[in-house]
Amino acid sequence: ELQNDVGFDHGSTILISGAPGLGRTVVALSMVRSLLFQYQRSKLYYITTEMTRESLERRYRNYGWFVKE
């Protein structure tokens, strides 16, 4: 049974893969932002093997999104 209109089961782990430059990060950060607002959460785990926390925060700010310190 799906728990939301996004089409993911509650508690799912989602892997986004693809070649460099295809927009994986923007898709993932957009999903994180939407899920945080939709479910009014203060935390969501985002795991990457390619980017540091600082570079993710910088990218998030570049999109005009707020990053809580």
Higher per-residue confidence, 69 vs 17: 17
Question: What are the backbone angles phi and psi of residue 9, rounded to the nearest 5°?
Answer: -70, 145
Residue 32 in tokens: 């994180």
Output the pLDDT for position 24: 86
Question: Cα separation of 65 and 57, whole Å?
Answer: 9
Output the pLDDT for position 2: 42
Q: Is the pTM of this model over 0.85?
A: no
Angle, CA 69 vertex, CA 40 and CA 25 arms, to 5° = 70
pLDDT in tens, 5-55: 656 676 778 888 888 888 888 888 888 788 777 777 667 777 888 888 888
